[in-house]
Structure 1
Amino acid sequence: MNPAPHEAPSGAPAAYEHNGQRVTRAAFYAIACDPARNVAVQACAGAGKTWMLVSRMLRALLDGCAPHEILAITFTKKAAGEMRQRLHEWLGEFARQPLDALTGELRARGVHPERALEARAALQNLYRQTLASGRPVQIRTFHSWFAALLGTAPLALLQALGLPAHFELLEDDAQAVRAVWGPFLHTVVADASLRADYAAMVALHGRSQTHKALAAALAKRVEFALADAAGVVDASVPPFQEQFPDLRAYAEPAHALRDAACVQRWRALAKTLGAQTGKTPQKAAQALDAALDCADPQQRLDGLRKALFVAAQDRLTKNLEKFAPACAAEPELQGLLAARRQHAAWQHQQRMARLARCLSAQFADLKRQHGWVDMNDVERAAQAMLADPVLSGWVQERLDARVRHLLIDEFQDTNPLQWQALHAWLSGYAGAGGGATAPSVFIVGDPKQSIYRFRRAEPQVFIAAQAFVRDGLGGDLLSCEHTRRNATRVIAAVNQVMD
């Protein structure tokens, strides 16, 4: 048996909190294990997160929930197997234990003492009843559950997402990713615009860094596609004309230096600066005139900068700060340089966006040719299905498993798209007062333990989910800093040293 963690020693920091307030261990577990409550638990390593999750399953079964109406989601097959084994072992042990021992087990899981006396016989019989039901608790990985949803998807939805009706699920898309670069490069070479984009990127950043950036975009292809469809990609880096309206008439900021009036102004400034006493302003004035003699506007701008500014910074050299003509020219030159940087950033973003669209399209074509569907496709399809109020209900009916209790382990490893799918489904219940069809929600995790960034996991999603449980579902936020892996005093001593 795996007992709940004990109280922290006297004088140690509080181990348990409920909605930001310190509570006892008993109060903490009474809330965490209550299947009627919506709860988000942030718990450190070794705090007994799986213990809480499986205990909540037991409480739900005791309250009359059918096993298949409980859906527990985790991130790996190993974790799902361990959770399933823990539940199976507990049910077997409780079936063999005397009633007096079961009273303590129930009370450890937040059951009121009087209710524990009444429920211990039911707990003893729970193993037999669960086996007799013929349908076990649903303990699945995110991807296996989403894949099951995809198997029920209407043909129209598959067509809208560009997915084949008959497909092979790729749990590992590494081979497909390697295979797409050849078709992608052939497409780039055949298209003059893409070829120019690619050549510019390689010239500025090198082939290796360019491919690394494109590979990162391909890894987030679903998020990229959704953002692109919403206009976010093109709007994320505005052109310099929006930030520098005085330059909106020019295709590039340096082109302002082609205007006769602008050149005349800078010539006058150079003349005034050259009239100053001392070699420094006179030398700078000569450099300004030489820059303005350049035919290329970019070379003109570079020359003006070199004449007046510190090599590594866009500000006047210290020796020129005391000369009024140089100080008067500084803001205009700084504006031109800032606009050029903005223009370079916009060009880079536009090139990357065009190349990323091409790479994603080639990857989609490659998958269609082979009848492949990858995990990104599965997640996107799940998000589309669960976001649609009609399809969401239809999906549940087709699966014949109306979920009454949803439990998610290691929530810090959830990626934004997975959370969007869940949020789309659960937000229909937000503010509904916990109606008969609303599943109770229990999430547990610790953002500090996120280990799946390579799978697009984002710990900030946990914070968003906590806010949804609290504000959208009227639930409770729990925090547990107790761990069975180290004594509390040891942790306190380490924290003191680190501070």
Structure 2
Amino acid sequence: MTELLAADSAARLRALEPESFIVEAPAGAGKTELLTQRVLGLLARVDHPEEVVALTFTNKAAAEMRDRILGSLELAAAGERPGDDAPHRQLTYALGRAALARDAAQGWNLLAHPGRLAVTTLDSLCASLARQMPYLSRFGAQPGVAEDATPHYEAAARRTLALVEETGPPADTVAAALAFMDNDAGRLERLLVALLARRDQWLRHTARGADAGLRAEAEAGLAALVRRDLAAAAAAFDAPLQDCLRAAARFAGATLAAENPESPIARLESWDSSLDDDPATLPLWQGLADLLLTAEGELRKSLDKRQGLPVPAGREHKAALKTLLETLPAGAAAALAPVRDLPLPVYADEEWATVETFSQLLNLATAQLWLAFQEAGEVDFAEVAQRALAALGDDEAPTDLALALDYRIRHLLVDEFQDTSPAQIRLVASLIRGWESGRPGGDARSLFLVGDPMQSIYRFRKADVGLFLKVRDGGIGDLLPKKLRLYRNNRSRPKVVEWINTAFPGVFPDQDEPLHGAVRYAPCLATRPDEEDSGVCLHPVLLEADAEENGSEQEADVLIDLILAERQAHPGASVAILVRARSHLAPLLARLRLRAPQLPFQAVDMAPLASRQAIQDVLSLARALLHRGDRVHWLAILRAPWCGLNLADLHALAGDDHRSTVWQLAQDEERLRRLSTDGQARLRHATAVLGEALAQQGRCPPRRWLEGTWRALGGDRCLAEDERPDVQALFQRLDTLASRGDWTADALETEAARLFAPPDPSPAALALPMMTLHKAKGLEFDTVIVPGLHRASGRDDPPLLLWDEIPTEGTREHLVVAPLRARGSTRTRITPYAALARLEAERARHESERLLYVAATRARRRLHLVGVATVREGGLRTPAAGSFLRLLWEHGAQARFAAALAGAAASAPVALPIAPVEPAADLRRLSLADLPALPPRPAATPARSSEGEGGSDGSGPDAAVGSLVHRALELIAREGPEAWSAARVGERHASFSAWLRSKGLAPREAEAGAARSVAILQGVLASPTGRWILSPHPDAHAEWGLSSSSGEGQHAHVVDRCFTADGQRWIVDYKTLRLTSADPADLLARAATHRPQLERYAALFPSAGLPLRLAVYFVEQDHLIDLSGAEEKIIKLPASGISPAP
């Protein structure tokens, strides 16, 4: 410890020398003060303060650094020398005095003119550079910079896809891309939007066009990628070990070459020399991996004929291999497993053609984006950075601006260097062009980079921690900064630091790897005094496997208890809830409002407004008015509180006519008479308002039109006081959309998704902060509570293209690019895209490790970690991959949860009982008296009396039960019947009843329907036939939505169950029937009535290439009836579960 403290002190003093350094500063190390001291020291050496330029990433950080520098100068000017108990402040004071002496000698007067301090953000610097060279930057007049440029990306993507309607090469390119995406224009648009936001990474590559050498370069990079993993495998399996394996491997290969030549193991028949990192040996390496490893990547514990080692012929080789497997070195499996997913380092012609198509598409989209920027008069930060680089020129042809900056900037400092992107690295390299390490003479320049690679968590902003590692080890430009490392943690108490130092060496990888974004852990030392009640506590929440859906509420209860306990024990301490994703807070916020409404909290940009009912109602109104055929949203606005039709009235209006629009049905006086008296009055009021709105469409500004209609319906009268700002925020977004001519229902819904509830107006000192870990970086709190350890991060839509720059020989890098696999492709070849996707997944996994580190290092005194584990058959289920709990599982978490399970940990939180299911809330709607008055209109035809809420057509409950059973069977099919037990189904009774009530059933009917549904599902799970239908099969689908066309138009179909078994494609339709008789003849007759429906489904597979089996499954009677032949037959499933021939 003493040695590390001495090394830390020496590094801090060394960092003040006017040389180039790259400093690793862990969390709480005081890097802001180190930067302040460095700036003060450099100011004492330069002729002009503008020669020292400090760059950071946010305006807040830049302002903080400027304030720290000025504050230090003010203290020095006042002569307020700190005491001997603060030596670091004494050093800052001395440096400030020296800077003031230089200030006086040069006549700067910095305290009166603080603007001369060159402390700014990278984005501001880029904008300044582009302004100074308007011609080269192509900006001309400086545009504005959009904080959120997503609308511009969306406009550019739509315009790009619209080119398909034209003629010429651009139209052909778009058509080819759409064909590749199976004509899913919506998905292609989303993928283009995502890529446009990251165009600074690919534009310089796609701009090369049809460069003949690009394919060879990409294949060289791909070969380098393959070599890296093969080299790791060769290190674990050296030549002597391979010699021991070869005889048995060749025997296994020869056996399978005769029996199963498609097996990768069959390739080992020709293995005659040691394998190395040559990509030509990849097929043999993959065969060896299949021989030695299970599908999960673990070493095999048993070997049999499936691996080419039958008994008795292969007994000797099998024994030899088993002995070798037991003695393989640690890490052998981890080194060998990745070779399975490596592609051959060549592109298929169709793959490269797709790369070229997508490159052309991206160039078209970039051009459209530039037009969108010009029309809007604003650009994004990426565009500003690109124009700044253009203004600086390149190494061969630097611009006058670059030369001027080279003359003016003598010392450059960059904070948070671990969060730099490739474009920002190129900018820094351009600014220091021509600088050299150890430059002789008195005009030495310096580059000072400081950051913590363990806190690099902004990959979604294009940050790449590998860049920090590369600069640290290989320099930047002609500079090779000296490496320094700090060790002090001046933030957290010793018990917190001790836990971090114990847990994270196992969480982080053993060594740095820039390509994979891997950063090893660097220990730190606590400098704060210990406190008795400080430390780290893991709070297990245990759930039975069939009660997982209740986990969020139980976890929320634990969190609330923790919050209240902390507030009571430490009234003046700061407490914060930090989560990985916004969605992780939703259960807590809901529970908090229920259990502790008096507790104020600040959840900035955490509670989305789009999920609130008032916002949903406005969005439904917009969609309905803009599309009269949108049946769902028309029914939604008639159900909304301003109209408030009950379910019986809605069914009477539209239940038996699915061809007419709801608006047409609402004009039908004969149909209106079916409604209750109350329903008729409500509907007449709504149709009067909506008719006027449809007549005025396009005749007034969108906001006035939509908001006016909403108010005329009575929407404003339905709101609570705290809901009004939410709706007004949505209407303001509508104003913004209309001003840029982008007003559509989809656009409004997208804008709604970007709205969040405002924070609690309570004073900040009283409110409980809740935020994501990304927002919390740079902050600290006395107590930090991190819930959701068991939750993994979400998955993004895979991009159109993946690309990377793979280092090869020396410092050279080769571009590797790969296209997304075509939708519906049946190719089994491992593609370059799969290899790059695996690389991206590794980087994401390593960033997850760093995100957990950031969470832990926000705590000064106490860190509470809360997670949920599932108990199955008396044991703990391994947490989800990618979750924080999985990272900690082998480093103390598993033992803590096991102790809680065994009852050995008295402090383990006890799962609180779930509150009973509350009865469904009454319909919330305006009374007839509260509906806004309408202008006078002709009297309507008197309506005949109609049935009220209790009316039924006799088939309502049965139909609702049928729909519920279909939904449940879909869920069981997707999860597999093994995941469902009769007990688990029985526990769904309350939720089934609530669902049926929501469909308009009376409480007694809903209870009966729920009981019937439970009995049906338990019967299906107990039946061999039912389990076979629901079991996983090749090419299986549940509730499969398909469409067809005919002379009458488009037709939608939903196939209940479809799968392939025994070389036949099965199409199964479920039927729920109440039968008074169990006569099989009756079932066969009823099945025959469904033959036309099944034959329509069969027509959807004209070229399936497999025989079709059509069947009806009567779920309540457990009979599967075959309709494939001329006569209906009941299928008796054999005990083996194999389907019989027709």
Same fold by TM-score greater than 0.5: yes
Distance 1:233 1:468 in 2: 30
The answer to whether 1:394 aligns with 2:401 is: yes
- Write out aligned runs for 1:322-471 (5 A): 342-388=348-394, 391-395=398-402, 397=404, 402-431=408-437, 433=439, 439-467=445-473, 469=475
Cα distance, 1:175 vs. partner?
2.5
- The equivalent residue for 1:255 is none
- Write out aligned runs for 1:29-48 (5 A): 29-34=12-17, 36-48=18-30
The answer to whether 1:221 aligns with 2:196 is: no
The residue identity in structure 1 corresponding to 2:63 is G
Alignment match of 2:160 (pick from 184, 189, 198): 184
In structure 2, the CA distance between the partners of 1:396 and 1:129, relative to structure 1 (3 Å rule), is: farther
After TM superposition, the structure 1 stretch with the greater mean CA deviation from structure 2, 127-136 or 485-494, is 127-136
Alignment match of 2:91 (pick from 108, 122, 133): 108
Q: Could you list the per-position Cα deviations for residues 112-160 of structure 1 after superposition, in whole angstroms to 9, with x for gaps in the alignment?
A: xxxx8995984997999423567521111111111111111152x23xx
Residue aligned with 1:92, SS: helix
Distance 2:194 2:20 in 1: 36
Alignment match of 2:151 (pick from 175, 178, 189): 175
Cα distance, 1:85 vs. partner?
1.2
Q: Which has the higher contact order (CA 8 A, sep 6+)?
A: 1
- Write out aligned runs for 1:287-306 (5 A): none
In structure 2, the CA distance between the partners of 1:133 and 1:402, relative to structure 1 (3 Å rule), is: farther
The alignment yields a C-alpha RMSD, in angstroms, of 4.4
Distance 1:473 1:241 in 2: 31
- Is the contact between residue 383 and residue 418 of structure 1 (CA under 8 Å) also seen in structure 2? no
Residue aligned with 2:32, SS: helix
Cα distance, 1:462 vs. partner?
1.3
Structure 2, gaps ≥5 residues long: 221-257, 263-294, 296-304, 310-342, 507-1142
- The equivalent residue for 2:141 is 166
- Is the contact between residue 27 and residue 110 of structure 1 (CA under 8 Å) also seen in structure 2? no
- Is the contact between residue 392 and residue 425 of structure 1 (CA under 8 Å) also seen in structure 2? no
Q: Could you list the per-position Cα deviations for residues 179-198 of structure 1 after superposition, in whole angstroms to 9, with x for gaps in the alignment?
A: 22331121133245224323
The residue identity in structure 1 corresponding to 2:127 is A
The residue identity in structure 1 corresponding to 2:188 is T
Task: Tell me the number of residue pairs that the alignment of Structure 1 and Structure 2 aligns.
Answer: 389
Distance 2:164 2:193 in 1: 15
- Is the contact between residue 74 and residue 80 of structure 1 (CA under 8 Å) also seen in structure 2? yes
The answer to whether 1:137 aligns with 2:117 is: yes
TM-score, normalised via structure 2 length = 0.30
Residue aligned with 1:130, SS: coil
- Write out aligned runs for 1:278-317 (5 A): none
In structure 2, the CA distance between the partners of 1:98 and 1:319, relative to structure 1 (3 Å rule), is: closer
Pick the structure with more strand per residue: 2
- Is the contact between residue 406 and residue 442 of structure 1 (CA under 8 Å) also seen in structure 2? yes
The residue identity in structure 2 corresponding to 1:147 is A
Distance 1:374 1:361 in 2: 14
Distance 1:94 1:138 in 2: 20
Distance 1:240 1:376 in 2: 25
Distance 1:465 1:240 in 2: 24
Cα distance, 1:56 vs. partner?
0.7
Alignment match of 2:129 (pick from 138, 141, 149): 149
- Is the contact between residue 198 and residue 462 of structure 2 (CA under 8 Å) also seen in structure 1? yes
In structure 2, the CA distance between the partners of 1:434 and 1:165, relative to structure 1 (3 Å rule), is: farther
TM-score, normalised via structure 1 length = 0.65
The answer to whether 1:211 aligns with 2:189 is: yes
Cα distance, 1:207 vs. partner?
4.5
Distance 1:423 1:429 in 2: 10
Distance 2:435 2:130 in 1: 23
Residue aligned with 2:28, SS: coil
- The equivalent residue for 1:91 is 73
Cα distance, 1:211 vs. partner?
3.3
- Is the contact between residue 8 and residue 486 of structure 2 (CA under 8 Å) also seen in structure 1? no
After TM superposition, the structure 1 stretch with the greater mean CA deviation from structure 2, 359-368 or 42-51, is 359-368
Residue aligned with 1:179, SS: helix
Pick the structure with more helix per residue: 1
Matched residues, percent identical?
27
Cα distance, 1:461 vs. partner?
1.7
Distance 1:152 1:39 in 2: 30
Residue aligned with 1:441, SS: strand
Q: Could you list the per-position Cα deviations for residues 390-440 of structure 1 after superposition, in whole angstroms to 9, with x for gaps in the alignment?
A: 65553564x898122211111112111111121123131125715555532
- The equivalent residue for 1:197 is 176
After TM superposition, the structure 1 stretch with the greater mean CA deviation from structure 2, 412-421 or 460-469, is 460-469
The residue identity in structure 1 corresponding to 2:14 is I
Cα distance, 1:66 vs. partner?
2.7
Residue aligned with 1:383, SS: helix
- The equivalent residue for 1:305 is none
Distance 1:241 1:87 in 2: 51
- Write out aligned runs for 1:42-57 (5 A): 42-57=24-39
Distance 2:389 2:100 in 1: 42
The residue identity in structure 2 corresponding to 1:366 is A
Structure 1, gaps ≥5 residues long: 1-8, 16-22, 243-279, 285-311, 313-317, 323-336
Q: Could you list the per-position Cα deviations for residues 284-332 of structure 1 after superposition, in whole angstroms to 9, with x for gaps in the alignment?
A: 9xxxxxxxxxxxxxxxxxxxxxxxxxxx9xxxxx78979xxxxxxxxxx
Cα distance, 1:363 vs. partner?
0.9
- Is the contact between residue 37 and residue 441 of structure 1 (CA under 8 Å) also seen in structure 2? yes
- Is the contact between residue 453 and residue 468 of structure 2 (CA under 8 Å) also seen in structure 1? yes
Distance 1:445 1:98 in 2: 31
Distance 2:13 2:436 in 1: 24
The residue identity in structure 2 corresponding to 1:140 is T
Cα distance, 1:238 vs. partner?
6.2
- The equivalent residue for 1:27 is 10
Cα distance, 1:494 vs. partner?
3.7
Cα distance, 1:42 vs. partner?
1.1
Could you say which structure has the larger radius of gyration?
A: 2
Cα distance, 1:489 vs. partner?
5.7
